[in-house]
Structure 1
Amino acid sequence: MSLVVNSNIAGLNAGRSLGIADRQLTASVERLSSGLRINRAADDASNLAISEVMRAQIGGLKVALRNTRDGISVLQTAEGALTEVHDVLHRMRDLAVQAANDGALDPDARAAVQAEMGQLRDELDRIAGTTSFNGRRLLDGSYRGTFQVGADVGQTLAIDVRSGTSAAALGVAGVDVTARDGGTTARTASAAPSAGSPSAVTLGSSTLTGGDFDRLDGAVSYRGRTLDLASIRFRDTDSAAQRLDRVNAALTATFGAGAVTATNSGGLVVTGTAPPSGASAQELAAVTVGFTPATGASSAIAAIDAAIGQVSVIRGDLGAVQNRFEHNVAKLGAALDNTAASESRIRDTDMATEMTAFSRTQILNQAGTAMLAQANQSPRGVLQLLA
C-alpha cells in the first residue's frame, strides 16, 4: 500500500461524486419548487417542443370557449327580443280579429282599435331598431357575425339575421282595420318631364271607383317640391269624384293651382305642366305616384299570420345555431381537458417520484460530504511516520 501526499485520489473521487450528487439535488429542488419536470430546454429538448405546441393549443381552446359563449349570448339577446316581437304580433292579431266583428263595432271603436294597432307597429320598429349586442344591431336585417369557435384557422361559425323584424319587413306596416277588405292591386309608376312638354303618369287601367285607392302610397315630386301621397285620406263613403277632388286639392295645396293635376280616365293620371326650356334638374324631377288598396280586418289577420310565421322561422334558425354553439362548448371543454392532461404528463413533475429522487440525492450529498472529509484526513497519517 502506497502512501502519497501530492495526489489525494480518494479526495478527488469523493469530490467528483459529491458534485454529481449536488447537481442532482439542485435539479430535484428546482422541480419540486416549480412543479415542472422541464424548466429549460436542456432538461428535455424534444418534449419541451411538444409541450409548447400543446400550450398554444390550450390557450386557443380557452379563448374559443369564451368566443362560443359570446355567440350564445348574442343569440339569447336576439331570442329575447323576438319573444317580444311574437307577443306584439299576437296582440295585433287579437285586435284584427276584434275589428273583423263588423256587426258589433262602430267607426269610433274601429278607430280605437287602429290606434292601438299603430302603437304596436311602432313598437315592432323600435324593437328592430334598438335590439343590439355590444353596439351591433341584431334585428334590423343587417346582422351577420362570424365567431371563431376553434383554436385553429377556419374553425368558425356564422350567425346570419338577414330578415329584419320591423313592421315593414314583416309586412304589417300597412294594416288598417278601419277600411273595407278588398280593393285593387298595388301599383307604382314614375316619369320624368322634359323641358317644353308635360309629363303624365298613368296607374293601370282601373278607374278611380269607390272602394279603390283607399290609401295612396308614394310621392309626387315636381319643381323642387314633393307631396307625400300617404297624407291623403279618403272616407269609405267617398264617391270616385270625391276621391279625385281630394287628390287634386292636395296637389294644388302643394304645387299651386294648375301646376300638377289628376284625372280619372282609364286609371288615375297625374300630369305636370311643362317646365320652361332650360329648366334646372330640380325642376325636371320625376313625377312618381303609387297606390295600394286598404287592407281591412280580414286582410290584416292574414298579414299578421304571415308575420308570425316569418318570426317563427327566424327564431327556429337562431335556435338551431344556438344548439350548435352549445354542442361546441361541450366539445371544446373535453378537448381542453384532454390536451391539458397530455401537456401535464409531459411538462409537470411527478411529485412522488421526484421526492424519492430528492431523498436519495440528499443522502448521497450528505454521504459524499462525509467521505470527502475522511479522504482529506488520510494524508495526515504521513506525519506519524515522521515522528
Structure 2
Amino acid sequence: MIINHNLMANNALRNMNINSNNSSKAMEKLSSGLRINRAGDDAAGLAISEKMRGQINGLNQASTNSQDAISLIQTAEGALNETHSILQRMRTLAVQSSSDTNTATDRSQIQKEVDQLAQEIGRIGNTTEFNTQKLLDGNFSGTFQIGANENQNLTLDVSDMRSFALGITGKAELTNSGTYTPGAGVGDTLTDGTYSVAKNGATYELQDSSGNVVAKSADGLDYTTQAADGSAGDDHLVFTQAVTSGSVTVATDAAGTTTYKGTAQFTNSGLQAGNYTYDDTNKTLVDGNGTIVAVTADGVTFKGNVNGASVTVFAATVALTDGDAVNVGGINVSDQSSANSAITTINNALETVSTQRSKLGAYQNRLEHTINNLGVSSENLTSAESRIRDVDMASEMSEYSKNSILSQAAQAMLAQANTQPQQVLQLLR
C-alpha cells in the first residue's frame, strides 16, 4: 500500500474532468442549438457551412433585388398605361378632325386638346421616377443582380417614351410682337380679332373667320394689308420672327393701345411638347422646372441632347430675346390632310408604346419565375446547412444525460479513492 500517489483518485479525477468537459460541450450545444460553435467542433463542417451561409444570404438578397426590379418595372409600365390612354384619345381627335364636317374653328379647338395631351405625355416621360431615377426619358439602363454570385444579373433598357420620340410633337412656336405701320390708303386697317395664317402658293395670307384675305406676305415677316375690294392696301404689319403658320392676334385695350402678335413656327428637331423660356444671360432654353433642355451660342441655333447626341433642336429666324417663350404643341390636326396623316403617326406611336409595355411585362414575368427559383434554392441550401451546423436536440440531450451521470459516478469514485490511504493507519497501530 502507498500513500504518496493515490492512483485510483487520479484515475477517477481524470475521468471526472473528461465527463465534465463533455457535459459542458453538450450543454453549450443544447443552449445554442448549434452542433458547431467553434472551428474545433468540426473544422471542415464549419468551412462548408460558412460557404453555404454566403450562398443563402446572397440568394435571399437576390430575391429582394428581383422584387425591387419588379416594382421599378411596374412603375414604368403603369405610367405607359396612361400614355396609351392619352394616345388613344389623340387618335380619336385626329379621326374627328380629318372629317370636313368640322370648321376651322372646330379644328382649332381640337388642336388645343391635342397640344395639351402631347404635353402631358412629355411630362409623364420627364417625371416618372423610381428611387429618383427617371425611367421613361430614354436614359435608363439598369442592371439587376438576381443571383448570389458574380455576373448573375439581368439588364433592362427603357426607350424614350416622350412625345418627340413618339413622333407626336408639333413645331416650335414663338409668339412675337409685330409693328404696325399705317399707309396713306383708307379702309385696309386690320381690326381687332384673330386671323389664321394660310399658305397660298408662295404667298402667306392672313384670313379672317370668314376666310377673307386681309393681308399678304412673301416671307412671313412683312404683311401688307388688303382692301375690302381685294385690292392691295398699303398698311404694313412687320414681325421679328417669320409668321408662316399659326395665327395673328390684334387686340386693343381700354386705353386704346393696340397690340399685334403673331406665332412664328420653326422646325422642331428634338424638343418635347411643352413650354420653354429663353434665358439670354446663360444662353439656355429651360422648361417650367428650370431644367436646361437646349443651349445656344447666338440665340438662333439651339442644340439639345437627343438619343445621347447633341443636335440642333430648332433654329429661329433671328436671335431670341431674354424671356421669349417657346411652345411646342402636339401633332398637327388643324386641317383635313394633316389630321388624316396624324392617324397613321399616332398608330405608330401606339405600337411603339405597346412594344415597350410588352417588353416590360415579359421582364416582370421572368423576374417572378426568378424569385420562385431563388426561394427554392435558398430553402434547399438552408436545409443542407442545417444538417451540418444545427444540433440534434434529442441526440445531444441523451449525450448530455450520459455525461452527467458519468460525471456524478466519477465524483463518487473519487470520494471512495480518497478514503483508501486511510487504511494505512491500521498498520501503524
Normalising TM by the smaller chain, what interval? 0.7 to 0.9
**Which of residues 125, 129, 132 in structure 2 aligns to 1:132?**
129
What's the offset of the Cα at 1:30? Answer: 0.8
**Which of residues 362, 384, 387 in structure 2 aligns to 1:320?**
362
**Which of residues 392, 403, 406 in structure 2 aligns to 1:350?**
392
Unmatched 5+ stretches in structure 1: 175-214, 219-232, 257-280
User: In 2 relative to 1, CA 216–355 (structure 1 residues): closer, same or farther, beyond 3 Å?
Assistant: closer
Q: Distance in 1 between matches of 2:300 and 2:78?
A: 49
User: In 2 relative to 1, CA 44–288 (structure 1 residues): closer, same or farther, beyond 3 Å?
Assistant: closer
Q: Distance in 2 between matches of 1:81 and 1:255?
A: 38
Letter in 1 for 2:43: A
- 2:98–2:340 Cα contact (<8 Å) kept: yes
2:239 corresponds in structure 1 to 253
Q: Distance in 2 between matches of 1:237 and 1:255?
A: 17
Q: Deviations over 1:152-211 (max 9, x none)?
A: 1110101101x211111111113xxxxxxxxxxxxxxxxxxxxxxxxxxxxxxxxxxxxx
1:336 corresponds in structure 2 to 378
> What SS is found at the alignment partner of 1:349?
coil
What's the offset of the Cα at 1:282? Answer: 5.8
1:224 corresponds in structure 2 to none
Q: Distance in 1 between matches of 2:241 and 2:121?
A: 35
User: In 2 relative to 1, CA 372–33 (structure 1 residues): closer, same or farther, beyond 3 Å?
Assistant: same
Q: Distance in 1 between matches of 2:98 and 2:298?
A: 46
1:241 correspondence with 2:203: yes
1:32-181 residue pairs with structure 2 within 5 A?
Answer: 32-103=30-101, 105-161=102-158, 163-174=159-170
Q: Distance in 1 between matches of 2:300 and 2:82?
A: 46
Aligned alpha-carbon RMSD (Å): 2.9
- 2:300–2:316 Cα contact (<8 Å) kept: no
> What SS is found at the alignment partner of 2:36?
coil
What's the offset of the Cα at 1:382? Answer: 2.0
Unmatched 5+ stretches in structure 2: 175-194, 206-216, 224-236, 243-296, 303-313, 318-330
Q: Distance in 1 between matches of 2:300 and 2:92?
A: 47
Q: Distance in 1 between matches of 2:382 and 2:66?
A: 19
Q: Distance in 1 between matches of 2:142 and 2:172?
A: 39
> What SS is found at the alignment partner of 2:164?
coil
Q: Distance in 1 between matches of 2:2 and 2:55?
A: 63
1:373 corresponds in structure 2 to 415
Q: Distance in 2 between matches of 1:59 and 1:123?
A: 44
Letter in 1 for 2:46: L
Instruction: State the TM-score, normalizing by the size of structure 1.
Output: 0.72
> What SS is found at the alignment partner of 1:164?
coil
Q: Distance in 2 between matches of 1:242 and 1:77?
A: 47
Q: Deviations over 1:82-126 (max 9, x none)?
A: 1000011111111112222322x2222212111111110010000
Q: Distance in 2 between matches of 1:10 and 1:49?
A: 42
Question: Which structure: greater strand fraction?
Answer: 2
2:8 corresponds in structure 1 to 10
Q: Distance in 2 between matches of 1:22 and 1:28?
A: 10
What percent identity do the matched residue pairs reach? 45
Q: Distance in 2 between matches of 1:386 and 1:375?
A: 20
What's the offset of the Cα at 1:374? Answer: 0.8
Letter in 2 for 1:340: T
- 1:217–1:289 Cα contact (<8 Å) kept: no
Q: Distance in 1 between matches of 2:300 and 2:344?
A: 41
1:30 corresponds in structure 2 to 28
User: In 2 relative to 1, CA 349–288 (structure 1 residues): closer, same or farther, beyond 3 Å?
Assistant: closer
Q: Distance in 2 between matches of 1:240 and 1:29?
A: 102
> What SS is found at the alignment partner of 1:159?
strand
Question: Which structure: greater helix fraction?
Answer: 1
What's the offset of the Cα at 1:255? Answer: 7.9
User: In 2 relative to 1, CA 249–130 (structure 1 residues): closer, same or farther, beyond 3 Å?
Assistant: same
What's the offset of the Cα at 1:344? Answer: 1.1
Q: How many residues align?
A: 304
What's the offset of the Cα at 1:253? Answer: 3.2
1:197 corresponds in structure 2 to none
2:307 corresponds in structure 1 to none
Q: Distance in 1 between matches of 2:300 and 2:134?
A: 39
Q: Distance in 2 between matches of 1:308 and 1:35?
A: 60
**Which of residues 388, 398, 402 in structure 2 aligns to 1:360?**
402
- 2:23–2:404 Cα contact (<8 Å) kept: yes
User: In 2 relative to 1, CA 123–149 (structure 1 residues): closer, same or farther, beyond 3 Å?
Assistant: same
- 1:125–1:166 Cα contact (<8 Å) kept: yes
- 1:25–1:358 Cα contact (<8 Å) kept: yes
Larger mean CA deviation between 61-70 and 131-140 belongs to 61-70
> What SS is found at the alignment partner of 2:143?
strand
